[in-house]
């Protein structure tokens, strides 16, 4: 029986890659593997992971607030307590390996495992390494990355380029486009832009859409699948009621991302690591509007890494309200550029990322 601890959390960008690797471990070893997740008390992983059928233990670890805050005084004490708990968890579980996916939730268990002689693997999703992964890289046996050139953050001999592990199966072939258009009530006669801002939504992209609809009087020669997010749903529904727009599908969520990608000729999106990896797999031309509100501005670095390879166009968040949709419509008319972007994205795809990471876990256990 192989016993493996997976740790990471705080955001879906750290949790879902860990879940994808857990699923790959189950595919590989079936009942011959036992998996334990370790997260941070009160964070989203404590709800999301059990809902997917996996056991999770929470540590009292907390991150530093970026501004002066009395809660920062408690951080060192929580860190010490979390490390003590992590050592006990590793010992009681009998872990053969510990895999960290970033975020401060993974720091105590990786640190403890390295000092106990338990092999550790780090998976870095972004093109600019996170603080936790940079600090703990020295003691890791393997560092699985999604981007080239990560030697500036990690020891070169430990790096393995695997890509980001994704849940589900995305591919360039994907769903049937005719079915996808029918699902969203769209026509094959006009090109389609997919605007997607995550489950909660993105204020910048929603304001961009509002400005564009008002500016075109709702009569632009394109169709849009507009995912507004749960947080903004009522506000955007009220806006559309006051400003009817032809050929616009609006919804808080997109349940069938395979249909959304199949229908779209171009995607306008944030540039989180998971989204970037999905778009490489479906080879769908993209205009990125990176979020400026993330650690180390990693979304901008992710987007620029693709832009330098001719696989994406980037519009800064501060300019997206006036420039992003006009640029997207302009791109739709340039079939050569769209085709080149698609080819360049496909060249960056890593469809077997989860399985490749499992290979590295197995190697360090041996």
- Residue set of the binding site for UDP-N-acetyl-alpha-D-glucosamine: 11-13, 126, 167, 199, 254, 299
Are 289 and 269 a contacting pair, CB within 8 Å?
Answer: yes
Question: Quick count: other Cβ atoms within 10 Å of Cβ 42?
Answer: 11
Query: What is the spatial distance between Cα 169 and Cα 264, in angstroms, rounded to a whole number?
Result: 18
DSSP letters spanning 216-257: HTT--SSEEEEE--GGGHHHHHHHHHHS--TTEEEES--S-H
Residue of 251, 299, 255 whose CA lies nearest to 130: 299
| Token digits of residue 5 | 């601890």
Laid out side by side, the sheet with 142-145 consists of 55-59, 33-40, 2-7, 97-100, 120-124, 142-145, 159-161
Beta bridge partners of 100: 7, 122
Q: CA of 2: how far to CAs of 29, 101, 154, in Å?
A: 9, 19, 28
| Token digits of residue 130 | 């996170």
Are 177 and 223 a contacting pair, CB within 8 Å?
Answer: no
> Which residues fall within 8 angstroms of residue 72, CB to CB, at 6 or more apart?
64, 65
Residue 298 host element (H or E):
helix 298-307
């Amino acid at each position: 029986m192989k016993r493996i601890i997976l740790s990471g959390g705080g955001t879906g960008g750290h949790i879902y890659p860990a879940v994808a690797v857990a699923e790959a471990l189950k595919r590989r070893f079936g009942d011959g593997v036992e998996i334990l997740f370790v997260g941070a008390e009160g964070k989203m992983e404590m709800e999301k992971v059990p809902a997917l059928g996996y056991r999770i233990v929470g540590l009292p670890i907390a991150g530093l607030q970026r501004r002066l805050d009395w809660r920062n005084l408690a951080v060192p004490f929580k860190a010490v307590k979390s490390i003590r708990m992590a050592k006990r968890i590793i010992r009681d579980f009998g872990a053969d390996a510990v895999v960290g996916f970033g975020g401060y939730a993974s720091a105590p268990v990786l640190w403890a495992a390295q000092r106990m002689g338990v092999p550790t693997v780090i998976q870095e999703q972004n093109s600019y390494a996170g603080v936790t992964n940079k600090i703990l890289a020295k003691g890791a046996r393997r560092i699985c990355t999604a981007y080239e050139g990560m030697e500036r953050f990690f020891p070169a001999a430990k790096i393995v380029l695997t890509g980001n592990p994704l849940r589900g199966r995305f591919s360039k072939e994907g769903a049937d486009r005719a079915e996808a258009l029918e699902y969203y009530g769209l026509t094959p006669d006009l090109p389609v832009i997919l605007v997607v801002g995550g489950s909660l939504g993105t204020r910048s992209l929603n304001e961009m859409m509002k400005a564009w609809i008002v500016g075109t009087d709702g009569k632009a020669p394109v169709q849009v699948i507009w995912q507004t997010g749960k947080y903004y749903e009522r506000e955007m529904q009220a806006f559309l009621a006051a400003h009817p727009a032809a050929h616009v599908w609006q919804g808080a969520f997109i349940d069938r991302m395979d249909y959304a990608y199949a229908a779209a000729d171009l995607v306008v999106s944030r540039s989180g690591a998971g989204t970037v990896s999905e778009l490489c797999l479906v080879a769908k031309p993209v205009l990125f509007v990176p979020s400026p509100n993330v650690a180390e501005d990693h979304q901008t670095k992710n987007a620029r890494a693709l832009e330098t390879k001719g696989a994406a166009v980037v519009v800064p968040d501060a300019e997206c309200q006036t420039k992003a949709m006009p640029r997207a419509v302009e791109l739709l008319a340039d079939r050569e550029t769209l085709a080149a972007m698609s080819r360049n994205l496909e060249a960056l795809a890593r469809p077997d990322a989860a399985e490749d990471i499992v290979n590295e876990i197995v190697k360090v256990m041996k």
